[in-house]
Structure 1
Amino acid sequence: MPQQVPTVSVPELPAALPEGVTLLDVREPDEWAAGHAPDAIHIPMGDIPSRLDDLPADSEVFVVCRSGGRSARVTAYLNANGWDAKNVEGGMQSWQAAGRPMTSDSGAPTVL
């Protein structure tokens, strides 16, 4: 059975993330470029171990990917290494479906 990780749904997230809260997007660069949350930090999943110093140690971290699988693994990893992390259920697909703001590096934002 897969390890259970703390999870939050998109509607449970505040519309404007308060200070001390980080939204971490762990998708690949092409996915990020196509569309992402405006205030998210981008660290692809494979780069997480070498870039832990890029995450505020005292921040609550919400981890998002496309649908929730990669972010669940990163959430488990972060929690095992001292962070307070929660997986965003349904990922950016749920984020977009909920009408949350998105931006892209070019064109209309979408989720790949």
Structure 2
Amino acid sequence: MPTVGVGDLKDGDFLLDVREDDEWRAGHAAGALHIPLSEFVARYGELAEAAPQDGRIHVLCRVGGRSAQVTMYLVQQGVDAVNVDGGMQEWAAAGRPVVDEKGEPGNVV
């Protein structure tokens, strides 16, 4: 399983958040693309349109389980994807900004 730590992420890295809508609304990484795991296969085209053609996709969930599933799916499709170890909990613990759906400070739930 390709994995990367939150500390290894750089500004501008493409982030895909696969948590459910209520988790996203409470708090997420600014600029991340949101496609819930439960809708991922049906909405895969949105990722293909938004992701950089020659860049890596960094997949996030709350702690890393759901994002690991999506990462493995993407790798099987030939996509350069990595699971972000510790997910949004590690993101927040590292002091990275978390915003709600209005762009205000958010929380990881």
> If the length of structure 2 is used for normalisation, what is the TM-score?
0.89
Partner of 1:68 in structure 2?
A: 64
Q: Provide the rounded CA distance (Å) in 1 between the counterparts of 2:18 and 2:65.
A: 10
Asked if the contact 2:2–2:82 (Cα under 8 Å) also holds between the matched residues in 1, the reply is yes
Structure 1 outlier segments of 4+, above 6 Å: none
Instruction: Report what 1:45 is aligned to.
Output: 37
Deviations 1:6-49 (A, max 9, x none): 000000111x11xxx42000000000000000010000002111
Cα distance, 1:57 vs structure 2: 6.5
Equivalent in the alignment of 2:100: 104
Gaps of 5+ in 2: none
Instruction: Report SS of the residue matched to 1:104.
Output: coil
Bigger mean CA offset, 67-76 vs 47-56? 47-56
Matched positions, count? 104
RMSD: 1.4
1:34 aligned to 2:26?
yes
Question: How many angstroms apart in 1 are the aligned matches of 2:105 and 2:15?
Answer: 21
Aligned AA (2:59): V
Give 2:64's aligned amino acid: G
> Which whole-Å CA distance do the structure 2 matches of 1:63 and 1:94 have between them?
13
Within 1, Cα distance between the matches of 2:79 and 2:28?
A: 22
